[in-house]
Structure 1
Protein backbone atom coordinates (compact mmCIF):
# COMPACT_ATOMS: atom_id res chain seq x y z
CA UNK A 1 0.00 0.00 0.00
CA UNK A 2 1.80 3.10 -1.23
CA UNK A 3 -0.97 5.69 -0.86
CA UNK A 4 -3.25 6.84 1.88
CA UNK A 5 -6.87 7.92 1.95
CA UNK A 6 -8.69 9.69 4.74
CA UNK A 7 -12.36 10.50 5.24
CA UNK A 8 -14.35 12.18 8.03
CA UNK A 9 -18.09 11.65 8.36
CA UNK A 10 -20.98 13.65 9.73
CA UNK A 11 -23.05 11.61 12.18
CA UNK A 12 -26.65 11.39 13.30
CA UNK A 13 -25.65 11.84 16.96
CA UNK A 14 -23.79 14.86 18.32
CA UNK A 15 -20.53 14.72 20.28
CA UNK A 16 -19.01 12.13 17.95
CA UNK A 17 -16.71 11.92 14.95
CA UNK A 18 -16.16 9.06 12.51
CA UNK A 19 -12.95 8.55 10.55
CA UNK A 20 -12.02 5.94 7.95
CA UNK A 21 -8.50 5.64 6.54
CA UNK A 22 -6.09 3.55 4.55
CA UNK A 23 -2.48 4.37 5.29
CA UNK A 24 1.09 3.05 5.44
CA UNK A 25 2.01 6.07 7.58
CA UNK A 26 4.07 5.66 10.76
CA UNK A 27 2.28 7.90 13.25
CA UNK A 28 4.39 9.68 15.85
CA UNK A 29 3.45 9.86 19.51
CA UNK A 30 0.26 11.86 19.93
CA UNK A 31 -2.99 11.92 21.87
CA UNK A 32 -6.65 12.85 21.51
CA UNK A 33 -9.00 14.67 23.86
CA UNK A 34 -11.71 12.14 22.97
CA UNK A 35 -12.38 8.47 23.56
CA UNK A 36 -11.64 6.43 20.45
CA UNK A 37 -12.65 2.95 19.40
CA UNK A 38 -12.07 1.44 16.00
CA UNK A 39 -11.89 -1.69 13.89
CA UNK A 40 -8.97 -2.87 11.75
CA UNK A 41 -10.58 -3.79 8.43
CA UNK A 42 -7.46 -5.11 6.70
CA UNK A 43 -3.72 -5.20 7.27
CA UNK A 44 -2.14 -4.88 10.71
CA UNK A 45 -0.36 -2.39 12.92
CA UNK A 46 1.96 -2.20 15.90
CA UNK A 47 1.58 0.56 18.48
CA UNK A 48 2.75 1.70 21.89
CA UNK A 49 -0.16 2.86 24.04
CA UNK A 50 -0.45 4.07 27.60
CA UNK A 51 -1.47 0.50 28.42
CA UNK A 52 1.54 -1.18 26.83
CA UNK A 53 2.84 -2.22 23.38
CA UNK A 54 0.28 -4.03 21.23
CA UNK A 55 -0.32 -5.47 17.79
CA UNK A 56 -3.68 -5.45 16.02
CA UNK A 57 -4.80 -7.19 12.85
CA UNK A 58 -7.89 -7.45 10.69
CA UNK A 59 -11.00 -7.97 12.82
CA UNK A 60 -9.45 -6.57 16.01
CA UNK A 61 -10.91 -3.64 17.91
CA UNK A 62 -8.54 -0.87 19.03
CA UNK A 63 -9.21 1.71 21.74
CA UNK A 64 -7.71 4.90 23.14
CA UNK A 65 -8.65 6.93 26.21
CA UNK A 66 -8.58 10.75 26.36
CA UNK A 67 -5.06 12.05 26.91
CA UNK A 68 -3.48 8.64 26.31
CA UNK A 69 -0.19 8.90 24.42
CA UNK A 70 0.10 6.41 21.56
CA UNK A 71 1.69 5.90 18.16
CA UNK A 72 1.20 3.46 15.29
CA UNK A 73 3.19 1.72 12.58
CA UNK A 74 2.02 -0.71 9.89
CA UNK A 75 3.01 -4.35 9.91
CA UNK A 76 3.61 -5.06 6.26
CA UNK A 77 2.35 -2.69 3.60
CA UNK A 78 -0.32 -0.74 5.50
CA UNK A 79 -3.73 -1.02 7.08
CA UNK A 80 -7.33 0.04 6.58
CA UNK A 81 -9.33 0.99 9.64
CA UNK A 82 -12.31 2.97 10.85
CA UNK A 83 -12.64 4.84 14.15
CA UNK A 84 -15.33 6.47 16.24
CA UNK A 85 -14.31 9.33 18.53
CA UNK A 86 -16.54 10.38 21.43
CA UNK A 87 -16.47 13.62 23.39
CA UNK A 88 -16.00 12.60 27.05
CA UNK A 89 -19.19 14.25 28.30
CA UNK A 90 -21.24 12.59 25.59
CA UNK A 91 -19.84 9.12 26.25
CA UNK A 92 -20.16 9.35 30.03
CA UNK A 93 -23.76 10.49 29.71
CA UNK A 94 -24.55 7.78 27.15
CA UNK A 95 -23.13 5.00 29.35
CA UNK A 96 -24.19 6.22 32.80
CA UNK A 97 -26.86 3.54 33.17
CA UNK A 98 -24.61 0.60 32.35
CA UNK A 99 -23.80 -1.81 35.23
CA UNK A 100 -20.62 -0.92 37.10
CA UNK A 101 -20.47 2.65 35.81
CA UNK A 102 -21.72 4.56 38.82
CA UNK A 103 -18.69 6.76 39.51
CA UNK A 104 -15.44 8.02 38.08
CA UNK A 105 -14.54 8.29 34.42
CA UNK A 106 -15.19 5.69 31.76
CA UNK A 107 -11.99 3.91 30.81
CA UNK A 108 -11.18 1.43 28.08
CA UNK A 109 -9.25 -1.35 29.78
CA UNK A 110 -7.74 -3.19 26.79
CA UNK A 111 -6.00 -1.36 23.91
CA UNK A 112 -6.73 -4.28 21.53
CA UNK A 113 -9.53 -6.83 21.63
CA UNK A 114 -9.96 -9.91 19.44
CA UNK A 115 -13.70 -10.22 20.05
CA UNK A 116 -15.88 -11.13 17.09
CA UNK A 117 -19.07 -10.23 18.99
CA UNK A 118 -17.82 -6.75 19.84
CA UNK A 119 -16.48 -6.25 16.32
CA UNK A 120 -19.97 -7.03 15.04
CA UNK A 121 -21.50 -4.57 17.52
CA UNK A 122 -19.04 -1.89 16.46
CA UNK A 123 -19.81 -2.45 12.78
CA UNK A 124 -23.53 -2.14 13.46
CA UNK A 125 -23.02 1.09 15.41
CA UNK A 126 -20.74 2.52 12.73
CA UNK A 127 -23.24 1.79 9.95
CA UNK A 128 -26.15 3.25 11.88
CA UNK A 129 -24.26 6.41 12.79
CA UNK A 130 -23.26 7.00 9.18
CA UNK A 131 -26.69 6.32 7.74
CA UNK A 132 -28.26 9.61 6.67
CA UNK A 133 -31.73 8.43 7.62
CA UNK A 134 -30.76 6.62 10.83
CA UNK A 135 -33.08 7.01 13.81
CA UNK A 136 -31.40 8.37 16.92
CA UNK A 137 -32.95 5.60 19.00
CA UNK A 138 -31.39 2.87 16.82
CA UNK A 139 -27.99 4.54 17.08
CA UNK A 140 -28.31 4.89 20.86
CA UNK A 141 -29.25 1.22 21.19
CA UNK A 142 -26.25 0.16 19.12
CA UNK A 143 -24.04 2.40 21.25
CA UNK A 144 -25.17 0.76 24.48
CA UNK A 145 -24.86 -2.74 23.02
CA UNK A 146 -21.24 -2.02 22.17
CA UNK A 147 -20.25 -0.28 25.40
CA UNK A 148 -22.06 -2.79 27.53
CA UNK A 149 -19.15 -5.13 26.78
CA UNK A 150 -16.36 -2.61 27.15
CA UNK A 151 -14.41 -0.76 29.81
CA UNK A 152 -15.16 0.16 33.35
CA UNK A 153 -15.25 3.29 35.43
CA UNK A 154 -12.31 3.90 37.70
CA UNK A 155 -11.10 6.68 39.93
CA UNK A 156 -8.09 7.09 37.65
CA UNK A 157 -4.35 6.69 38.33
CA UNK A 158 -2.06 9.11 40.16
CA UNK A 159 -4.89 10.89 41.95
CA UNK A 160 -2.55 12.98 44.11
CA UNK A 161 -0.43 14.08 41.15
CA UNK A 162 -3.52 14.90 39.10
CA UNK A 163 -4.81 17.08 41.95
CA UNK A 164 -1.52 18.97 42.23
CA UNK A 165 -1.28 19.46 38.50
CA UNK A 166 -4.91 20.35 37.86
CA UNK A 167 -4.47 24.15 37.73
CA UNK A 168 -1.39 24.03 35.49
CA UNK A 169 -2.96 21.49 33.16
CA UNK A 170 -6.13 23.58 32.96
CA UNK A 171 -4.05 26.65 32.06
CA UNK A 172 -2.64 24.79 29.06
CA UNK A 173 -6.00 23.30 28.11
CA UNK A 174 -7.75 26.67 28.25
CA UNK A 175 -5.14 28.64 26.29
CA UNK A 176 -2.79 26.37 24.31
CA UNK A 177 -1.91 29.27 22.02
CA UNK A 178 -0.13 31.08 24.87
CA UNK A 179 3.61 30.87 25.48
CA UNK A 180 3.46 28.96 28.76
CA UNK A 181 6.62 28.84 30.87
CA UNK A 182 7.78 25.99 33.07
CA UNK A 183 8.40 28.16 36.13
CA UNK A 184 4.88 29.58 36.09
CA UNK A 185 3.24 26.20 35.57
CA UNK A 186 5.31 24.71 38.38
CA UNK A 187 4.37 27.56 40.70
CA UNK A 188 0.69 26.85 40.05
CA UNK A 189 1.29 23.31 41.30
CA UNK A 190 3.38 24.29 44.32
CA UNK A 191 6.32 22.30 42.98
CA UNK A 192 9.85 23.02 41.83
CA UNK A 193 10.38 23.02 38.08
CA UNK A 194 12.04 19.59 38.26
CA UNK A 195 9.34 18.11 40.50
CA UNK A 196 6.67 19.50 38.21
CA UNK A 197 8.35 18.12 35.10
CA UNK A 198 8.56 14.61 36.57
CA UNK A 199 5.04 14.68 38.01
CA UNK A 200 3.51 16.00 34.79
CA UNK A 201 5.24 13.37 32.66
CA UNK A 202 4.17 10.63 35.06
CA UNK A 203 0.54 11.79 35.01
CA UNK A 204 0.17 12.46 31.28
CA UNK A 205 2.91 10.48 29.51
CA UNK A 206 4.21 13.73 27.99
CA UNK A 207 6.44 16.60 29.05
CA UNK A 208 4.60 19.90 29.54
CA UNK A 209 5.86 21.18 26.17
CA UNK A 210 4.87 18.02 24.31
CA UNK A 211 1.46 18.20 25.98
CA UNK A 212 1.13 21.85 24.92
CA UNK A 213 1.89 20.89 21.30
CA UNK A 214 -0.81 18.21 21.43
CA UNK A 215 -3.34 20.71 22.75
CA UNK A 216 -2.41 23.13 19.97
CA UNK A 217 -2.93 20.38 17.41
CA UNK A 218 -6.32 19.54 18.92
CA UNK A 219 -7.36 23.18 18.73
CA UNK A 220 -6.13 23.31 15.13
CA UNK A 221 -8.32 20.32 14.24
CA UNK A 222 -11.38 22.05 15.71
CA UNK A 223 -10.72 25.32 13.86
CA UNK A 224 -9.98 23.59 10.56
CA UNK A 225 -13.15 21.49 10.89
CA UNK A 226 -15.10 24.75 11.24
CA UNK A 227 -13.62 26.04 8.00
CA UNK A 228 -10.82 28.31 9.28
CA UNK A 229 -7.93 28.66 6.78
CA UNK A 230 -4.69 26.86 7.75
CA UNK A 231 -2.68 30.10 7.86
CA UNK A 232 -4.94 31.84 10.37
CA UNK A 233 -5.42 28.59 12.29
CA UNK A 234 -1.67 28.28 12.79
CA UNK A 235 -1.42 31.73 14.36
CA UNK A 236 -4.56 31.25 16.47
CA UNK A 237 -3.13 28.03 17.88
CA UNK A 238 0.28 29.42 18.81
CA UNK A 239 2.39 27.89 16.04
CA UNK A 240 5.22 29.95 14.60
CA UNK A 241 3.66 29.83 11.13
CA UNK A 242 1.66 27.57 8.83
CA UNK A 243 4.65 25.41 7.86
CA UNK A 244 5.40 24.78 11.53
CA UNK A 245 1.84 23.64 12.15
CA UNK A 246 1.80 21.54 8.97
CA UNK A 247 4.98 19.70 9.92
CA UNK A 248 3.74 18.80 13.41
CA UNK A 249 0.20 18.04 12.19
CA UNK A 250 1.38 15.59 9.58
CA UNK A 251 3.83 13.93 11.96
CA UNK A 252 1.03 13.29 14.47
CA UNK A 253 -1.89 12.44 12.17
CA UNK A 254 -0.40 11.38 8.85
CA UNK A 255 -1.93 14.11 6.69
CA UNK A 256 -1.64 17.87 6.28
CA UNK A 257 -4.03 20.42 7.83
CA UNK A 258 -5.27 21.35 4.34
CA UNK A 259 -6.10 17.72 3.59
CA UNK A 260 -7.83 17.34 6.93
CA UNK A 261 -9.97 20.39 6.21
CA UNK A 262 -10.94 19.06 2.78
CA UNK A 263 -11.47 15.42 3.77
CA UNK A 264 -15.09 15.42 4.94
CA UNK A 265 -17.08 12.65 3.30
CA UNK A 266 -14.44 11.88 0.70
CA UNK A 267 -14.66 8.37 -0.67
CA UNK A 268 -11.98 5.98 0.52
CA UNK A 269 -10.51 3.92 -2.35
Structure 2
Protein backbone atom coordinates (compact mmCIF):
# COMPACT_ATOMS: atom_id res chain seq x y z
CA UNK A 1 0.00 0.00 0.00
CA UNK A 2 1.26 3.46 -0.90
CA UNK A 3 0.61 6.22 1.60
CA UNK A 4 2.64 9.39 2.05
CA UNK A 5 1.40 12.62 3.62
CA UNK A 6 3.53 15.75 3.97
CA UNK A 7 2.11 18.57 6.09
CA UNK A 8 3.72 21.98 5.58
CA UNK A 9 4.29 24.99 7.81
CA UNK A 10 2.47 27.79 6.03
CA UNK A 11 3.32 30.41 8.65
CA UNK A 12 -0.23 31.76 8.43
CA UNK A 13 -2.73 31.02 11.20
CA UNK A 14 -5.88 29.36 9.88
CA UNK A 15 -4.26 27.94 6.73
CA UNK A 16 -2.95 24.37 6.42
CA UNK A 17 -1.25 22.74 3.41
CA UNK A 18 -0.71 19.06 2.65
CA UNK A 19 0.85 17.00 -0.14
CA UNK A 20 -0.49 13.45 -0.41
CA UNK A 21 0.18 10.28 -2.40
CA UNK A 22 -1.95 7.30 -1.45
CA UNK A 23 -3.90 4.21 -2.39
CA UNK A 24 -5.66 4.39 0.98
CA UNK A 25 -9.40 4.76 1.39
CA UNK A 26 -10.33 7.51 3.84
CA UNK A 27 -13.51 6.96 5.89
CA UNK A 28 -16.29 9.51 5.88
CA UNK A 29 -15.37 12.57 7.91
CA UNK A 30 -15.61 16.34 7.80
CA UNK A 31 -13.45 19.38 8.49
CA UNK A 32 -14.00 22.71 10.22
CA UNK A 33 -12.43 24.46 7.22
CA UNK A 34 -12.97 25.07 3.54
CA UNK A 35 -10.63 22.92 1.46
CA UNK A 36 -9.31 23.43 -2.08
CA UNK A 37 -7.08 20.84 -3.74
CA UNK A 38 -5.55 19.79 -7.04
CA UNK A 39 -5.29 16.21 -8.35
CA UNK A 40 -1.75 15.83 -9.71
CA UNK A 41 -1.98 12.25 -11.01
CA UNK A 42 -4.29 9.26 -10.89
CA UNK A 43 -7.97 9.43 -10.06
CA UNK A 44 -9.91 10.20 -6.89
CA UNK A 45 -13.44 9.09 -6.06
CA UNK A 46 -15.32 10.51 -3.11
CA UNK A 47 -18.74 11.12 -1.61
CA UNK A 48 -19.74 14.74 -1.07
CA UNK A 49 -22.79 16.74 -0.08
CA UNK A 50 -23.61 16.91 -3.80
CA UNK A 51 -23.29 13.15 -4.37
CA UNK A 52 -20.48 11.07 -5.85
CA UNK A 53 -17.45 12.86 -7.27
CA UNK A 54 -14.96 11.41 -9.76
CA UNK A 55 -11.88 13.58 -10.21
CA UNK A 56 -8.83 13.01 -12.40
CA UNK A 57 -5.46 14.64 -12.88
CA UNK A 58 -5.83 18.39 -13.40
CA UNK A 59 -9.18 18.63 -11.60
CA UNK A 60 -9.78 20.89 -8.62
CA UNK A 61 -11.54 19.28 -5.64
CA UNK A 62 -13.21 21.35 -2.92
CA UNK A 63 -14.92 20.72 0.40
CA UNK A 64 -16.96 22.87 2.80
CA UNK A 65 -16.93 23.13 6.61
CA UNK A 66 -18.96 20.31 8.14
CA UNK A 67 -19.49 18.57 4.79
CA UNK A 68 -19.30 14.80 5.13
CA UNK A 69 -16.95 13.25 2.57
CA UNK A 70 -14.58 10.34 2.07
CA UNK A 71 -11.94 9.46 -0.51
CA UNK A 72 -10.55 6.49 -2.39
CA UNK A 73 -8.64 5.52 -5.49
CA UNK A 74 -10.69 3.65 -8.12
CA UNK A 75 -7.68 1.45 -8.97
CA UNK A 76 -4.48 0.12 -7.40
CA UNK A 77 -2.31 2.90 -8.84
CA UNK A 78 -3.40 5.45 -6.24
CA UNK A 79 -3.41 9.20 -6.71
CA UNK A 80 -1.31 12.23 -5.85
CA UNK A 81 -2.87 15.49 -4.78
CA UNK A 82 -2.31 18.69 -2.85
CA UNK A 83 -4.75 20.30 -0.41
CA UNK A 84 -5.01 23.67 1.29
CA UNK A 85 -7.48 24.18 4.14
CA UNK A 86 -8.77 27.63 5.08
CA UNK A 87 -10.48 28.56 8.35
CA UNK A 88 -13.87 30.21 7.59
CA UNK A 89 -12.76 33.44 9.28
CA UNK A 90 -9.77 33.63 6.92
CA UNK A 91 -12.12 33.28 3.94
CA UNK A 92 -14.43 35.96 5.34
CA UNK A 93 -11.55 38.39 5.73
CA UNK A 94 -10.22 37.66 2.27
CA UNK A 95 -13.63 38.24 0.64
CA UNK A 96 -14.19 41.33 2.79
CA UNK A 97 -17.99 41.00 2.89
CA UNK A 98 -18.48 40.36 -0.83
CA UNK A 99 -19.81 36.85 -0.14
CA UNK A 100 -21.84 35.50 2.75
CA UNK A 101 -19.51 32.64 3.63
CA UNK A 102 -22.02 31.03 6.01
CA UNK A 103 -24.56 30.66 3.18
CA UNK A 104 -22.15 29.75 0.37
CA UNK A 105 -20.77 26.35 -0.57
CA UNK A 106 -17.98 25.44 -2.97
CA UNK A 107 -18.67 22.88 -5.69
CA UNK A 108 -16.98 19.52 -5.03
CA UNK A 109 -15.14 19.12 -8.35
CA UNK A 110 -14.33 21.46 -11.24
CA UNK A 111 -12.17 21.55 -14.36
CA UNK A 112 -10.74 25.08 -14.59
CA UNK A 113 -7.18 25.65 -15.76
CA UNK A 114 -7.14 29.19 -14.35
CA UNK A 115 -8.18 27.96 -10.90
CA UNK A 116 -5.52 25.23 -11.11
CA UNK A 117 -2.85 27.83 -11.92
CA UNK A 118 -3.97 30.03 -9.01
CA UNK A 119 -3.90 27.03 -6.69
CA UNK A 120 -0.45 25.84 -7.80
CA UNK A 121 1.02 29.30 -7.31
CA UNK A 122 -0.53 29.54 -3.86
CA UNK A 123 0.67 26.10 -2.82
CA UNK A 124 4.17 26.96 -3.96
CA UNK A 125 4.09 30.30 -2.13
CA UNK A 126 2.88 28.73 1.12
CA UNK A 127 5.31 25.81 1.14
CA UNK A 128 8.56 27.37 -0.06
CA UNK A 129 11.43 27.46 2.45
CA UNK A 130 11.39 31.23 2.97
CA UNK A 131 7.90 32.42 1.97
CA UNK A 132 7.36 35.99 0.84
CA UNK A 133 4.31 37.32 2.77
CA UNK A 134 3.40 39.79 0.03
CA UNK A 135 3.47 37.11 -2.68
CA UNK A 136 1.52 34.68 -0.48
CA UNK A 137 -1.14 37.34 0.14
CA UNK A 138 -1.65 37.99 -3.56
CA UNK A 139 -1.83 34.25 -4.33
CA UNK A 140 -4.35 33.75 -1.53
CA UNK A 141 -6.62 36.43 -2.88
CA UNK A 142 -6.44 35.17 -6.46
CA UNK A 143 -7.18 31.57 -5.43
CA UNK A 144 -10.00 32.23 -2.98
CA UNK A 145 -11.75 35.04 -4.86
CA UNK A 146 -11.75 33.06 -8.12
CA UNK A 147 -13.13 29.94 -6.40
CA UNK A 148 -15.95 31.75 -4.61
CA UNK A 149 -16.90 33.96 -7.55
CA UNK A 150 -16.92 31.24 -10.18
CA UNK A 151 -17.33 27.88 -8.42
CA UNK A 152 -19.68 28.36 -5.49
CA UNK A 153 -23.43 28.28 -5.07
CA UNK A 154 -26.09 29.34 -2.60
CA UNK A 155 -27.76 25.96 -2.92
CA UNK A 156 -27.42 24.12 0.36
CA UNK A 157 -25.90 20.65 0.18
CA UNK A 158 -27.06 19.90 3.72
CA UNK A 159 -29.73 17.27 4.19
CA UNK A 160 -32.55 18.19 6.52
CA UNK A 161 -31.93 16.29 9.77
CA UNK A 162 -34.98 15.11 11.75
CA UNK A 163 -35.31 17.01 15.06
CA UNK A 164 -34.86 13.86 17.14
CA UNK A 165 -31.56 13.04 15.42
CA UNK A 166 -30.46 16.66 15.40
CA UNK A 167 -30.94 16.78 19.17
CA UNK A 168 -28.42 13.93 19.58
CA UNK A 169 -26.06 15.39 17.01
CA UNK A 170 -25.97 18.75 18.78
CA UNK A 171 -25.26 17.01 22.08
CA UNK A 172 -22.29 15.22 20.51
CA UNK A 173 -21.07 18.44 18.89
CA UNK A 174 -21.15 20.26 22.22
CA UNK A 175 -19.21 17.59 24.11
CA UNK A 176 -17.55 15.01 21.83
CA UNK A 177 -15.03 14.21 24.58
CA UNK A 178 -17.74 12.73 26.82
CA UNK A 179 -19.06 9.15 26.60
CA UNK A 180 -22.20 8.82 24.49
CA UNK A 181 -23.63 5.32 25.06
CA UNK A 182 -25.85 4.06 22.26
CA UNK A 183 -28.79 3.44 24.57
CA UNK A 184 -28.66 6.98 25.95
CA UNK A 185 -28.58 8.46 22.46
CA UNK A 186 -31.49 6.27 21.36
CA UNK A 187 -33.46 7.29 24.44
CA UNK A 188 -32.78 10.97 23.73
CA UNK A 189 -34.03 10.42 20.17
CA UNK A 190 -37.06 8.54 21.55
CA UNK A 191 -36.47 5.44 19.45
CA UNK A 192 -34.94 1.96 19.65
CA UNK A 193 -31.18 1.47 19.35
CA UNK A 194 -31.44 -0.19 15.95
CA UNK A 195 -33.83 2.43 14.57
CA UNK A 196 -31.57 5.16 15.92
CA UNK A 197 -28.49 3.64 14.25
CA UNK A 198 -30.20 3.59 10.87
CA UNK A 199 -31.76 7.04 11.25
CA UNK A 200 -28.52 8.69 12.40
CA UNK A 201 -26.45 7.14 9.60
CA UNK A 202 -29.05 8.15 7.01
CA UNK A 203 -29.23 11.73 8.28
CA UNK A 204 -25.50 12.39 8.78
CA UNK A 205 -23.72 9.96 6.48
CA UNK A 206 -21.89 8.28 9.39
CA UNK A 207 -22.73 5.89 12.21
CA UNK A 208 -22.98 7.44 15.69
CA UNK A 209 -19.64 5.90 16.74
CA UNK A 210 -17.89 7.13 13.59
CA UNK A 211 -19.38 10.59 14.01
CA UNK A 212 -18.22 10.80 17.63
CA UNK A 213 -14.67 9.83 16.63
CA UNK A 214 -14.74 12.38 13.83
CA UNK A 215 -15.77 15.12 16.24
CA UNK A 216 -13.06 14.08 18.67
CA UNK A 217 -10.45 14.37 15.92
CA UNK A 218 -11.72 17.85 15.07
CA UNK A 219 -11.48 18.80 18.75
CA UNK A 220 -7.99 17.29 18.92
CA UNK A 221 -6.89 19.37 15.94
CA UNK A 222 -8.00 22.56 17.67
CA UNK A 223 -6.28 21.56 20.92
CA UNK A 224 -3.06 20.67 19.08
CA UNK A 225 -3.12 24.00 17.26
CA UNK A 226 -3.46 25.75 20.62
CA UNK A 227 -0.09 24.29 21.65
CA UNK A 228 -1.15 21.61 24.14
CA UNK A 229 0.92 18.44 24.61
CA UNK A 230 -0.37 15.38 22.78
CA UNK A 231 -0.94 13.35 25.95
CA UNK A 232 -3.13 16.15 27.31
CA UNK A 233 -4.91 16.50 23.97
CA UNK A 234 -5.79 12.80 23.88
CA UNK A 235 -7.31 13.08 27.36
CA UNK A 236 -9.24 16.31 26.71
CA UNK A 237 -10.54 15.07 23.35
CA UNK A 238 -12.00 11.91 24.88
CA UNK A 239 -9.63 9.24 23.57
CA UNK A 240 -8.59 6.27 25.70
CA UNK A 241 -4.93 7.27 25.41
CA UNK A 242 -2.45 8.88 23.02
CA UNK A 243 -2.01 5.73 20.92
CA UNK A 244 -5.79 5.51 20.45
CA UNK A 245 -5.86 9.14 19.31
CA UNK A 246 -3.00 8.48 16.90
CA UNK A 247 -4.75 5.50 15.28
CA UNK A 248 -8.00 7.42 14.74
CA UNK A 249 -6.17 10.58 13.63
CA UNK A 250 -4.17 8.70 10.99
CA UNK A 251 -7.23 6.79 9.76
CA UNK A 252 -9.18 10.01 9.20
CA UNK A 253 -6.48 12.48 8.11
CA UNK A 254 -3.62 10.27 6.96
CA UNK A 255 -1.05 12.01 9.17
CA UNK A 256 0.04 11.47 12.79
CA UNK A 257 -0.81 14.04 15.48
CA UNK A 258 2.89 14.76 16.02
CA UNK A 259 3.49 15.60 12.35
CA UNK A 260 0.30 17.65 12.28
CA UNK A 261 1.48 19.59 15.33
CA UNK A 262 4.86 20.26 13.71
CA UNK A 263 3.08 21.82 10.74
CA UNK A 264 0.49 23.95 12.51
CA UNK A 265 2.26 25.06 15.68
CA UNK A 266 4.19 27.90 14.11
CA UNK A 267 4.69 31.43 15.33
CA UNK A 268 1.07 32.51 15.59
CA UNK A 269 1.98 36.11 16.14
CA UNK A 270 2.58 36.27 12.36
CA UNK A 271 -0.63 37.06 10.54
CA UNK A 272 -1.14 38.43 7.05
CA UNK A 273 -3.53 41.32 6.52
CA UNK A 274 -5.97 40.59 3.70
CA UNK A 275 -7.13 44.10 2.89
CA UNK A 276 -5.90 44.31 -0.70
CA UNK A 277 -8.68 43.76 -3.24
CA UNK A 278 -8.47 42.09 -6.63
CA UNK A 279 -10.98 42.20 -9.45
CA UNK A 280 -11.02 38.61 -10.80
TM-score band (shorter)?
Answer: 0.7 to 0.9
Unpaired runs of 5+ residues, structure 1, are: none
After TM superposition, the structure 1 stretch with the greater mean CA deviation from structure 2, 194-203 or 64-73, is: 194-203
1:30 Cα offset (Å): 2.6
Q: Which residue of 2 aligns with 1:224?
A: 224
1:87 aligns with 2:84: no
Secondary structure of 2:234 counterpart: helix
CA offsets 1:157-207 (integer angstroms, 9 cap, x no match):
43362x554443222122111002344445555666555444432331012
The equivalent of 1:106 in structure 2 is 104
Distance 1:102 1:53, change over 3 A: closer
| 1:46, distance to aligned residue in structure 2 (A) | 3.0
RMSD: 3.3
1:129–1:28 Cα change, 3 Å: same
2:120 to 115, 118, 123: 123
Match of 1:170, SS state, is: helix
- Does residue 248 (structure 1) correspond to residue 248 (structure 2)? The answer is yes
* Aligned residue pair count: 260
Q: Which residue of the partner structure matches residue 272 of structure 2?
A: none
Residue 25 of structure 1 aligns to a residue in which SS? coil
| Matches of 1:166 and 1:217, distance apart in 2 | 20
- 1:161-240 paired onto structure 2 within 5 Å: 161=162, 163-186=163-186, 188=188, 193=193, 196-240=196-240
1:103–1:199 distance in 2 versus 1, CA, 3 Å: farther
After TM superposition, the structure 1 stretch with the greater mean CA deviation from structure 2, 26-35 or 127-136, is 127-136
Q: What TM-score, normalized to structure 1? A: 0.78
Shift of residue 78 of structure 1? 3.5
Structure-2-length-normalised TM-score? 0.76
Query: Aligned ranges for residues 25-36 of structure 1 at < 5 Å?
Result: 25-36=24-35
